[in-house]
Amino acid sequence: MGFIFRSYLKIDYIKFIGKQELFNGPFGFIFRKLGGVPVDRFSSNNFVDQIVQMFNENESFAIAISPEGTRKRVDRLRTGFYHIARQANVPIVLLALDFENKEFRFEPPFYTTDNEAEDLQKIIDYFARFKGKHPSLGLCHLSSRSTENQ
């Protein structure tokens, strides 16, 4: 769905990241053609630094990072995306796939602040408003607005 959305809006400059091993095989060219950027998970450079370097080296660069809860329910939001945005000084755009209403929903871009906990709660609360394909894997249980938390 992300590829269709990207093509429809003609925002082909948005890339996605994937483990380097996907790009080494006979189908690696397909992943690159689709906008994939390989990341070495075993390098001495950590993941966040690799992506920040890509932002610093490219005049026009944007990446899409999938949210938590796509394969299993999580107890906390991973923060790599947040640290990438903070260190590269780039905004975060929240895009939700609202399966219940069959809509793409997104917020205006925002920059990280000095309050990481508050920023992350804002992100969790945003995603908790929408039902994904598998609602039980969503972030509602982490939301400050959730009745599950009270």
Determine contact, residues 1/17, Cβ cutoff 8 Å. Answer: no
Using CA atoms, how far residue 124 sits from 21, 78, 85, 88, 117, in Å, is 31, 11, 16, 22, 11
Rounded mean pLDDT, 90-98: 88
User: Averaged over 101-120, what is the pLDDT?
Assistant: 91
Residue range 96-117: average pLDDT?
90
pLDDT digits (tens, 9 = 90+) for 74-85: 778 888 889 999
Q: Is the pLDDT of residue 146 over 60?
A: no
pLDDT at 64: 77
Asked whether residue 58 carries a pLDDT value surpassing 50, the answer given is yes
Element (H, E) at 81: helix 80-88
**3-state DSSP percent of the chain in helix, strand and coil, to 5:** 35, 15, 45
For residue 88, what pLDDT is reported?
94
